[in-house]
Structure 1
Amino acid sequence: MAELSSPAAVFEIGAAAPWMRKCSSAWVRGPLWDGFWMLSALWLAPIVLLLAQGYSNPESSPLDLLYFGLTALFWIGHRLSSTYLAYCTEAYRPLLQAQPIRFVALPVLITAGCFALFLPADSALPWTREERLIGLAIIDYACVTYHFAAQHFGALSLYRSRADRGSCIQTRRWDRFFALTAGGVLVFVADILAGAVAYQDQWVDRWFPAWIVSAENGIRGGAMLALFAITAIVLVAELRTPQWSLPRIFYIVGLAVMVGLALRPRSLFLFLVIWTSQHWILATGLASQTPSAEPTPTTGIVRRFLHRLNVRPWAVVLLLMLLSLMLLPVFEVEANRETGTY
């Protein structure tokens, strides 16, 4: 959900979604809605730990079945949500018309560039197809890591806006620092220690000294202390603000819990489940709400049909979930791994 999770998109959501200004509540929609869609880390964490309890390999526990269900319902739908918002809603139509380079030219150029990079034979370019694939996979890993951190910044920014602190530069800086540090740098550290970075042997192992493996426990401990310190500082800064926000506190705690799971040496699978599921659920929830108060189109049968769908958030969620279920077999290749199909 690139458009919704990028820092700049926070202001675009505010302009494209009148539902955000309907009330003065600190919540996006309300405690129940936010609790499920925005703050899912708080209920996912205990479920993940409970289902994996008593199993030496969490991937063989009931948690695996839960993750399959969440993947089937939200994974592909969340990927399509930003595209749907950009091209199928009246809420984003003014932005689409105002920024054709961003929404039309760049996607076409990126798609054409990928074909131009992969179609030539091994001898046509200085790099073989395998080397090109590895290079793009590494770039993709870096972009995805930033993408997740940016979504956390976007969520905190939404709550900052709901608390009437949208123009507070200091809070914005704290939000960016916490999201990029806890949700970006520390997650990258956890991935390195777990050997989960994309093609880690091709670049990370060459850049970082070999003693990292022997010092793994110390690095994990230091990262946990850093996480605790960063979280405490951000929470204290929030509580000292006259217009402090309870949803923001919940979100900060939820993010810290997820990163804490990543730094635990037991299994990265626990973190993978909660980290990706929270991301998918939040993206889907916001996508359903963004066009709910869009203006009625005056022309176009398709536009009027989509408008009837867009003004009903439950219908948008249902559509994205159905698309995710139907397209899951097509994208199964992305779930392959060395030990077999996941």
Structure 2
Amino acid sequence: MAAAPGTSPAAAPGRSSWVQSPGWDAFWMFSGIWGCGLLLLGSIIGPVIWIPFALLASARGVSIAHAWSTTYLVLFSPLLAEPRGEDRTRFVWIPLGLAIGCLALGWVVASTQRYGPDGRFTSDLWALSLYLGIFWIGHFWHFGSQDFGVLTIYRAKAGQTQPIDRKLDRAYTATMMFLIQPVIYFSVITTTAISEMAYTLLPISKPFMQGAANIAVGVSLIVSVAIVTWELRKKNRSIPKLLYILVIAFHPIILWGSVRAGSILLGQMYIFSYLFSHWLIAVGLVERINTGFYRSAGDTSRFAILRHVTVIGALTGLVMWFTRPYGDYLLFNTDGFQYKQILASITPEQVPVIGLVLGFFLGEQVLHYYSDRRLFRFRHASVRRKVAPFLLGTP
């Protein structure tokens, strides 16, 4: 997934304002738009429009594919073999340390973290707090970085090189994902482990958060209208950039509206526009980079795609096979306070295996966050030299 480039990439003059083409971008970059449209149409005319429903049913598989796409490209692919050899600290030892740390934390959670008889969150659950905090802080940072990264790509494609453009894109995405999205999330989703932790540790209440969410929705509308107005005033305005701003703007509004209206359809639209949009962008951009690399090495376009799909498909299948029996232990989003029963059910004999599983689930995400930063931030000269031609050049 596209993280925020520290050095804004530059596209060659005369290039299209799209990442690849209107059709390619429509599918990979704007699935949040067509997915919501098809869900709405499907709710009106019946299950004829099956594509988004099928994707919703395959959420775990798509999530794995998106996470391991960037992790594979950075840590294992031949494309970045040179940067890995030049900088083993960033590309070998730090990822290895992160993986070991996550596995160790997973073991501590599995072996020691249990709620007391009253079911209340206490300081004894420090390891669970750390486990959840790493994931969720990383989650909001990571999603916000992708939003800024996508705007950066389209800004480069449109030749928007003024410093104010970058600063406003950064301010907009930071406001939307680091401030507005968490406020609305914690106001409407209150029975997950991270929500219980937040309501216990922070001086907030449900009525307070509901009021804050109403204000946050209003602020999101104001800043979104402002950034769209700014974009429309430019001579080199970017249509795809404007479309992606709309995708960002709809995230908090749909989440807030789905709960306020009690609408299952709006809930599905939120999942698609927020999660699947994020996942498919990552899958699409990595596909573009990696198949471009294969073609540069002499593969035909069809064989390059087949080769890429085979690698990512095999990784996805392997991870799904390993984790399928342990889906209940994805504690990051377990709702209805069920995580308390799940932790309580872990027996001493199960600790080695469940600890490994919990550590793997966290490590999978942390390595993805880290790899994404290494791949798309463009501060490492070798990575920039290897990746930029395939990301920003002609297909």
Q: TM-score surpassing 0.5?
A: yes
- Gaps in structure 1 of 5+ consecutive residues: 15-19, 55-60, 298-303
> Residues of 2 paired with 1:36 and 1:65: CA distance?
15
Match of 1:278 in 2: 277
Letter aligned with residue 36 of structure 1: F
Aligned match for 1:255, one of 248, 251, 258: 248
> Residues of 1 paired with 2:292 and 2:13: CA distance?
10
**After superposition, where does 1:96-107 map in structure 2 within 5 Å?**
96-107=84-95
> Residues of 2 paired with 1:335 and 1:284: CA distance?
25
The 3 A distance-change label for structure 1 pair 275 and 195 is same
Deviations 1:158-193 (A, max 9, x none): 10111122x321111111112121233221112111
Worse overlay, 192-201 or 234-243: 192-201
Within the alignment, does 1:153 sit opposite 2:123 as a pair?
A: no
Aligned match for 1:327, one of 307, 319, 325: 319
Aligned match for 1:25, one of 8, 12, 16: 16
Structure 2 residue matching 1:247: 3-state secondary structure: helix
Structure 1 residue matching 2:291: 3-state secondary structure: coil
Asked if the contact 2:155–2:241 (Cα under 8 Å) also holds between the matched residues in 1, the reply is yes
Deviations 1:18-76 (A, max 9, x none): xx65961000101000001011111122233445679xxxxxx997654113543x211
Match of 1:36 in 2: 27
Match of 2:378 in 1: none
The 3 A distance-change label for structure 1 pair 206 and 86 is closer
Structure 2 residue matching 1:330: 3-state secondary structure: helix
Within the alignment, does 1:312 sit opposite 2:326 as a pair?
A: no
Offset of 1:317 from its aligned partner? 4.0
Offset of 1:309 from its aligned partner? 9.1
Within the alignment, does 1:75 sit opposite 2:63 as a pair?
A: yes
> Residues of 1 paired with 2:316 and 2:104: CA distance?
29
Offset of 1:10 from its aligned partner? 6.1
Letter aligned with residue 97 of structure 1: G
Asked if the contact 1:190–1:262 (Cα under 8 Å) also holds between the matched residues in 2, the reply is yes
The 3 A distance-change label for structure 1 pair 68 and 321 is farther
Offset of 1:119 from its aligned partner? 4.6
The 3 A distance-change label for structure 1 pair 100 and 326 is closer
> Residues of 1 paired with 2:37 and 2:223: CA distance?
23
Aligned match for 2:226, one of 221, 233, 236: 233
Within the alignment, does 1:187 sit opposite 2:181 as a pair?
A: yes
Match of 2:5 in 1: 7
Within the alignment, does 1:243 sit opposite 2:231 as a pair?
A: no
**After superposition, where does 1:130-145 map in structure 2 within 5 Å?**
130-145=125-140
Structure 2 residue matching 1:203: 3-state secondary structure: helix
> Residues of 1 paired with 2:14 and 2:312: CA distance?
27
Match of 2:377 in 1: none
Within the alignment, does 1:176 sit opposite 2:164 as a pair?
A: no
Offset of 1:335 from its aligned partner? 5.4
Structure 2 residue matching 1:5: 3-state secondary structure: coil
> Residues of 1 paired with 2:18 and 2:194: CA distance?
40
Worse overlay, 147-156 or 135-144: 135-144
Query: What TM-score do you get using the length of structure 1 for normalisation?
Result: 0.77
- How many residue pairs match? The answer is 312
Letter aligned with residue 229 of structure 2: V
Asked if the contact 1:186–1:259 (Cα under 8 Å) also holds between the matched residues in 2, the reply is yes
> Residues of 2 paired with 1:284 and 1:116: CA distance?
29
Worse overlay, 41-50 or 310-319: 310-319
Worse overlay, 260-269 or 222-231: 260-269
Say which structure, 1 or 2, has more relative contact order (CA 8 Å, 6+ apart). 2
Letter aligned with residue 86 of structure 1: V
Match of 2:356 in 1: none
Structure 1 residue matching 2:128: 3-state secondary structure: helix
Asked if the contact 1:90–1:295 (Cα under 8 Å) also holds between the matched residues in 2, the reply is no
Structure 1 residue matching 2:290: 3-state secondary structure: coil
Percent of aligned pairs with the same amino acid? 21
The 3 A distance-change label for structure 1 pair 53 and 324 is farther
Letter aligned with residue 48 of structure 1: L
The 3 A distance-change label for structure 1 pair 181 and 318 is farther
Asked if the contact 2:19–2:157 (Cα under 8 Å) also holds between the matched residues in 1, the reply is yes
The 3 A distance-change label for structure 1 pair 321 and 52 is farther
Asked if the contact 2:32–2:272 (Cα under 8 Å) also holds between the matched residues in 1, the reply is no
Structure 2 residue matching 1:293: 3-state secondary structure: helix
Asked if the contact 2:39–2:53 (Cα under 8 Å) also holds between the matched residues in 1, the reply is no
The 3 A distance-change label for structure 1 pair 162 and 215 is closer
Question: What is the alpha-carbon root mean square deviation over aligned residues?
Answer: 3.6
